Chain A
Amino acid sequence: MMSSQSHHQHVSDCQEVLSHLNDYIDGELSPELCQELEAHLAVCHNCRVVFDTLNKTLYLVRQLREYPPELPETVEYRLFAVMNLELFVPRERK
């Protein structure tokens, strides 16, 4: 998996790369490690794919913020009832 031409001392194999990937994504990796990691990603297809799909995963998941699971009407009605706010519930739904 590992490129034989690698002379990196710190980010030396795929496991190592993987363990730094999150700090890298969060921008919390030191510039030196960043460089080493990027050098590895440039030559290692597997790590590149993990990195890309991990990024894609986060990109997709973060969009869920805009799509909260629906609050069912019945749950909303019961909430108003429990809060003694039935006054505000349409008569036919009481």
Chain B
Amino acid sequence: MTGIDIDLDIYPDEASLVEALKRGDPEACACMVKQYAPRVYAVAIRMLNDPDDAEEVLQETFISACKNIQKFEERSALGTWLHRIATNAALMHLRKRKHREVSLDEPIEVQAGDDIYREIQDWTLAPDDHAMNSEVRDVLEKAISELPETLRTVFILREIEGYSTEETAQILGISISAAKVRLHRARLRLRQILTPYFT
């Protein structure tokens, strides 16, 4: 691992790490931060598309986690708990941002089928199955970042972070059917954005 060098083996398992966290052991705190910061940062930067905002979310997440560690009930994994805090913090930032500026969201009442047949190109074979290189990853990350925010958040939670549709709806505070509609549009839109890259 690069960056700060912390011995992650001090605590043999998560239970003992959590126990030490609840005792207020700074070493445990350092361990938690070292271990989970990458995942927290990843969800923040994908949701927010902005390194500065993502860094704020990262810091807020761990400050909040340390403050509220006594409330962590170990029904879920520590990583899942942190991930949920980070997701909520990222959503708060998006809402704040909306108040600051005119919404950049495109209207989403576009019919699902609009434009989709304008150019039908088959790129099923490209890139090939093992071509998950950094170039393809960059293309994918860029394409996701081009989704309008309402579609992007649903898409990231559902497809990348692996939440169920129900969980996604709950996190975003929208109905399950709204989540499904947005996911549907996000998938089709992303397919469209990717088409010129892969043909």
Contacts and interface: CB of A to CB of B under 8 A. Distances in A.
Interface of A: 1, 14-15, 18-19, 21-22, 25-26, 45-46, 49-50, 52-58, 60-65, 67-73, 75-80, 82-85, 87-90
Nearest to B44: A69
Interface residues of B, number: 55
Contact of B62 (A26, A60, A79): A79
Contacts of B27: 88
Chain A contact residues: helix, strand, loop or mixed = helix
Interface stretch (B14-22, B73-81, B84-92, B135-143): B135-143
Nearest to B161: A65
A53 B6 contact: no
B187 A19 contact: no
B144 A87 contact: no
A89 B33 CA distance: 12
Interface of B: 2-6, 26-27, 29-30, 33, 37-39, 41-42, 45-46, 51, 55, 58-59, 62-63, 66, 111-113, 116-117, 120-124, 127, 132, 136-137, 140-141, 144, 159-162, 165, 180, 183-184, 187-188, 190-191, 194-195
B38 A68 contact: yes
B187 A76 contact: no
A71 B190 contact: no
Contacts of A82: 59, 63
Given A68-B38, A76-B4, A60 B132 contact: yes
B127 to A, nearest CB: 8
A64 B137 contact: yes
A46 B121 CA distance: 9
B4 A60 contact: no
7 contacts: A53-B195, A63-B132, A65-B161, A68-B41, A69-B45, A79-B59, A83-B59
A68 to B, nearest CB: 3
Contacts of A15: 111-113
